[in-house]
Homo-oligomer: A and B are copies of this chain.
Amino acid sequence: MADPKIEEILAPLRSAVKEQGDMVRQLKSSGAPEIDIKRAVAELKARKKILEDKELALTPVTESFDRGKMEDLLKRRFFYDQSFAIYGGVTGQFDYGPMGCALKANMLNLWRSFFIIEEGMSEVDCSVLTPEPVLKASGHVERFADLMVKDLTSGECFRLDHLIKAALEKQAAAKDAKLEFKEKIADILVKLDGMTKDEMGALLKEFKIKSPLTGNDLTEPIEFNLMFSTHIGPTGLIKGFLRPETAQGIFVNFKRLLEFNMGKLPFAAAQIGNAFRNEISPRSGLLRVREFTMAEIEHFCDPNDKSHPKFSDVSDTEVVLYSACDQMDGKSAKIMTIGDAVHLKLVDNETLGYYMARIQAYLLLVGIAKDKLRFRQHMAQEMAHYACDCWDAEALTSYGWVECVGCADRSAYDLTQHTSATGTKLSAEKTLPAPKTVTVTEPQINKSIVGRAFKKDAKTVTEALNRLGTEQLEEMSTILNEKGEYVLTAADSSEHIITKDMLTVKTYEKTVHVEEIIPSVVEPSFGIGRVMYALLEHNFRVRKNDEQRTFLTIPPSVAPLKCAIFPLSANTDFQPKIKQLSSAFRKLDISHRIDDSSGSIGRRYSRTDEIAVPFGVTIDFETLKNSTATLRERDSMEQIRLPLSDIPELVQDLSVGRRTWTDAKSKYPNVEAKPAANAAD
């Protein structure tokens, strides 16, 4: 990260970023108009992107990665593939085949034991179909949208930023394009990400952009909500959406979960499940899809005390942090311990820091490469308005740095929103260090008068009265005294006339031992498909001296199958030994595959290497004589010979990480691959 030659090239880019970062800071501190700040931020992001692209381009490449080759392997061995392909398929939908499905199931099982069991979290499994009011409260109905344009004639839709990018790149690539024009386009393209609806609309006009498929005119930019909508029940009157994230299911169950945890904070709830986003034009394989599996944690804690009891266990963990500040200054990401980061207030609090360390540990465990992982902090202007700090775990892939896990402090936003939408208080009680006296203002309602006056609406009215705050109660009391009547607006916007005889507003003093707090929420949110894609890239290898032999070095703990069994030949004498071994594997729940297909043993090894099987047992003529067999390790291709009866337990231990291959080699004799086998191997 500090090659002087590279730094020399990067220096001017770094200072260009810093100059703009300082400009943004200055604009903010001087209270400049928001539109000026937005423009300056767009320019900042543009400069940052140029710097990062250059940095990546200059990073010495240790091994080349051929995405086409990997995709071919994943398709051919059915890790995943397009859904409904025989019907022409739909973009952004994928089916996981046996290998992808087993990998995913293993990743999720590990996640469950690593987070839920290890941390004693409360797991829930909530409904996917969500009624509209829930997602109105969460802000998704209003804000969860992307910009698109439609072909005025054919109705074809295009995601606006993708369309502009493609159109401008084409114009810049035209034979007669002048240098000046090309530079202008390049400048626009880097700023595109930060542009507003109007700015992009202006570009459509300026560059006369038409539908790329038909040449027809396009609509103005449209905000397209990314949620799939449907109707729940037969009347067609209850509008619902497929959930766009799993988190809301946890928030609406907060009261039950708090009770399950005996009313005590902090506690964490977790959910693994599918979420759905109707992307306008999905691309980049598994990275942007319409259905995906998420694993989310909502850690509820005291807003005034975000310390974590187990923080000291992880404080020495080194993480690569790319802070908002460093991003604005044009600096690189830095390595430091999470303990220092929290101490320096770079990471807002211990709980956030604890989860960042745990997220990293999980990612490394499933096979994400340590040197291709960083935490990037959201800059103030990209953070959701409710969050107070947010770090994304990003993995470096052939598509660039990809967000795999978000880790945000969402403060009290969600619980507050659902409380005000439903009138159900989503809060916890905190015991005060000492009892205190408070002044309480409450309506004392004459139920029988209210009941007679409002009949079936009496409940609505009573609830509305009980929801009034101190100020509103006092205001009502004044109006009632002056005019004798007060117009009350209920939660459903209906209005009701309250008269003086219906209630009295009482104010009195009371000693309280607890205070009510709305917990803060720290949310680690995993996109399982993205983690999987990144780990596939990080573990894709080509054997030295043989470009055709590709393999996957996925860690045994999550590899789709743990072991392969190879009879040396079709000789039927091998069958009883194979059956015996397979049955012993099944007893220990070791997923395995018998490869008794024709083809040299080398070719068969190579076929199982492709699907990441970490261990392989070969049953040969020596097995028939003395009941020993060879065990081969995928990455090193080394082999040892050991008694057949020792194999199941050893493979299990190796798979869960209780023993290492080095241990195994020290206990059993190494087998030199025979010259012939070697050549084929």
Contact = CB atoms under 8 A, between A and B. Distances in A.
A252 B586 CA distance: 29
A301 B42 CA distance: 60
Given A98-B122, A422-B87, A229 B228 contact: no
A98 B84 contact: no
A257 B278 CA distance: 28
A83 B224 CA distance: 28
A12 interface: no
Contacts of A512: none
A250 B351 CA distance: 43
A648 to B, nearest CB: 13
Interface string A37-55: 0000000000000000000
A129 B224 contact: no
A318 interface: no
B586 A117 contact: yes
Contacts of A133: 87
A150 B276 CA distance: 32
Contact of A104 (B83, B125, B148, B418): B125
Contact of A86 (B123, B257, B259, B418): B418
Nearest to A425: B86
Nearest to A422: B86
A237 interface: yes
A146 B558 CA distance: 44
Nearest to A596: B262
Given A255-B86, A262-B597, A589-B113, A123 B94 contact: no
A224 B232 contact: no
A668 interface: no
A249 interface: yes
A228 B236 CA distance: 11
Interface in A18-69: none
A4 interface: no
A517 to B, nearest CB: 19
A120 interface: yes
Interface string A76-111: 011001011111001101111110111011000100
Contacts of A229: 230
Interface in A402-458: 418, 421-422, 424, 426
A131 interface: yes
Q: What number of copies of this chain does the assembly contain?
A: 2
Contact of A95 (B95, B127, B590): B127
> Which of A84, A113, A421: most chain B Cβ within 10 A?
A84
A128 B87 contact: no
Given A255-B86, A256-B78, A291-B128, A591 B230 contact: no
Contact of A280 (B130, B231, B234): B234
Contacts of A334: none
A260 B122 contact: no
A98 B121 CA distance: 8
A120 B102 CA distance: 12
A93 B260 contact: no
A274 B276 contact: no
Nearest to A250: B95
A589 B98 contact: no
A257 B85 CA distance: 13
Interface string A229-255: 111111101101010000001001101
B259 A78 contact: yes
Which secondary structure dominates chain A's binding surface? mixed
A594 to B, nearest CB: 8
B117 A96 contact: no
A126 B87 CA distance: 14
A576 interface: no
Contacts of A256: 78, 81, 97
Nearest to A424: B86
A95 B126 contact: yes
A567 B87 CA distance: 61
Nearest to A240: B90
A256 B128 CA distance: 29
A232 B86 contact: no
Nearest to A249: B95
A615 to B, nearest CB: 16
A651 interface: no
A156 B249 CA distance: 28
A49 to B, nearest CB: 27
A359 to B, nearest CB: 18
B156 A235 contact: yes
A84 B129 CA distance: 10
Contacts of A128: 274, 276, 291
7 contacts: A84-B130, A84-B131, A101-B124, A129-B228, A129-B276, A148-B234, A232-B290
Given A83-B249, A86-B418, A234-B278, 6 more contacts: A90-B240, A95-B127, A97-B260, A98-B124, A113-B589, A155-B237
User: Top 4 nearest A-B pairs by Cβ distance?
Assistant: A98-B122, A96-B125, A157-B234, A83-B127
Interface of A: 77-78, 81, 83-87, 90-91, 93-98, 100-102, 104-105, 109, 112-113, 117-118, 120, 122-131, 133-134, 148, 150, 155-157, 224, 228-235, 237-238, 240, 242, 249, 252-253, 255-257, 259-260, 262, 269, 274, 276, 278, 280, 290-291, 418, 421-422, 424, 426, 586, 589-591, 593, 597
